């Protein structure tokens, strides 16, 4: 069942986004390579990744972007709009990790006719905690519009 549309007036700085977790199984690693068409072997060939100095294969940029976009757009709802997304890939998320994709409301303001909300977003893994910090700006509908 779909949740009711989130409106700008209902948002408060500090609110947590529901977020989600994903186990990075070998099946998911192969799916992320296939889905993003990023066939560089560090994302699917453990021996190649280890020969390059990595602990194991790791998820790619497209997968990270998609996970953070999913977080923001699920939170914003069907009438929301993801205006901007930025993130830093500080540490890899490896096969075998269960990643947690999380966020919170940083601030809100009016951008012309739009109700804008800045989100702090991130991806955690069990070794490093927050390994991919980021931010997003979403526009939410107004109850008064």
- Does residue 91 lie within any of the structural domains? yes
At residue 2, the pLDDT reads 59
Q: pTM of the full predicted structure? A: 0.94
Dist. CA 123–CA 99, nearest whole Å: 6
Number of H helices, E strands in the chain: 3, 5
Q: What is the CATH number of the domain that holds 64?
A: 3.10.129.10
Domain-located, residue 80: yes
pLDDT at 1: 47
Where is 140: in which H helix or E strand? strand 129-140
Q: What is the mean pLDDT of residues 37-43?
A: 90
The answer, yes or no, to whether residue 38 has pLDDT greater than 50, is yes
Domain holding 95, by residue range, is: 8-140
What integer pLDDT is reported at residue 35 of this predicted model? Answer: 87
* Residue 73 placed within a domain: yes
Average confidence (pLDDT) over 108-131: 96
Nearest-angstrom CA–CA distance, 135 and 87 = 6
Give percent above pLDDT 90 in the chain: 86
Q: What is the chain's alpha carbon radius of gyration, rounded to the nearest angstrom?
A: 17
pLDDT of residue 4: 83
Per residue in 64-99, pLDDT (tens digit) is 999 999 999 999 999 999 999 999 999 999 999 999
| pLDDT recorded at residue 113 | 87
* Residue 3 within a domain: no
User: Is 145 a domain residue?
Assistant: no
Confidence of residue 43 (pLDDT cuts 50, 70, 90): very high
Cβ-contact 137, 118 below 8 angstroms: yes
- What is the percentage of the chain residues whose pLDDT exceeds 70? 98
Please say whether the beta carbons of 85 and 119 come within 8 A: no
Per the domain annotation, does 1 fall within a domain? no
> What is the tally of structural domains in the chain?
1
Give backbone dihedrals phi and psi of 91, rounded to 5 degrees, phi first: -140, 150
Does residue 2 fall inside a structural domain? no
């Amino acid at each position: 069942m779909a949740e009711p549309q989130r409106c700008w007036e209902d948002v408060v700085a500090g609110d947590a986004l529901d977020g989600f977790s994903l186990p990075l199984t070998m099946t998911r690693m192969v799916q992320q390579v296939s889905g993003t068409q990023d066939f560089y072997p560090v994302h699917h060939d453990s021996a190649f990744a280890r020969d390059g100095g990595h602990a194991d294969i790791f998820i790619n940029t497209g997968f990270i972007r998609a996970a953070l976009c999913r977080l923001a757009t699920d939170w914003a709802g069907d009438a929301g709009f993801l205006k901007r997304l930025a993130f830093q890939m500080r540490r890899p998320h490896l096969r075998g990790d269960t990643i947690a994709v999380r966020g919170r409301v940083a601030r809100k303001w009016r951008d012309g006719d739009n109700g804008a909300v800045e989100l702090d977003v991130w991806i955690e893994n069990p070794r490093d905690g927050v390994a991919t910090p980021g931010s997003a700006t979403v526009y939410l509908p107004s109850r008064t519009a």
